[in-house]
């Protein structure tokens, strides 16, 4: 059984500054979906995204864009396999990886900005990672808002 280091709603997770030194401290297990109901919007917190495990065992990064549009995408970064539901939604509307700040367009699943940081600022490397992120985009799921929940539209 896993142990949570911070509150169950993840709202009080310890967040690092955007320098990329430390990822936020979050619960070890994803939130469990209830049928098509993935997560209550009130549980998203400041990061605007959480990890959710569907009833059929699929892990998703589920959240809401700054304009109020809900999304659900595959939970694994194409760079070094970080869990994207532990990242954040940027003010520009991208899902940001918690490890190296690669950014994804949640509408298409494509990586739009490669990893950031001292070593990842090397243009050929970042271009290569972005190419992989574009060739193998995150899976996207159709969702909608219903009674304060982000819900799957399709199976």
pTM (2 decimals)? 0.74
Q: What does the pLDDT read at residue 50? A: 96
Chain segment 5-40, per-residue pLDDT in tens: 333 443 333 334 444 555 555 556 899 999 999 999
Collect the ranges in the chain with pLDDT lower than 50: 1-19
Q: What does the pLDDT read at residue 86? A: 93
Q: What does the pLDDT read at residue 20? A: 52
Which residue's entry shows tokens 């009130």? 42
Domains of the chain (ranges; CATH) run 31-152 (2.102.10.10)
Which residue's entry shows tokens 């396999």? 81
Q: What is 50-96 written as a DSSP string?
A: EEEE-TTS-EEEEEE-TTS-EEEEESB-TTT--BGGGSEE-TTS-EE
Q: 89-124: b or e for each residue (b if 16 or more CB lie within 10 Å)?
A: bbeebbbbbbbbbbbbbbeebbbebbbbeeebeeee
Q: What does the pLDDT read at residue 95? A: 95
Q: What does the pLDDT read at residue 37? A: 97
Tokens of residue 38, six digits: 């993935």
């Amino acid at each position: 059984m896993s142990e949570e280091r911070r509150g169950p709603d993840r709202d009080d997770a310890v967040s690092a500054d955007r320098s990329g030194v430390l990822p936020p401290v979050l619960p070890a297990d994803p939130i469990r979906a209830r049928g098509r109901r993935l997560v209550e919007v009130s549980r998203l917190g400041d990061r605007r995204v959480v990890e959710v495990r569907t009833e059929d065992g699929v892990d998703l990064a589920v959240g809401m864009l700054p304009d109020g549009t809900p999304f659900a995408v595959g939970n694994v970064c194409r760079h070094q396999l970080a869990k994207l539901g532990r990242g954040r939604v940027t003010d520009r509307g991208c899902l940001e990886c918690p490890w190296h700040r690669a950014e994804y367009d949640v509408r298409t699943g494509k990586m739009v900005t490669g990893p950031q940081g001292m070593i990842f600022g090397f243009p050929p490397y970042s271009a290569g990672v972005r190419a992989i992120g574009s060739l193998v985009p995150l899976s996207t799921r159709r969702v909608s808002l219903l009674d304060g929940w982000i819900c799957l539209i399709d199976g």
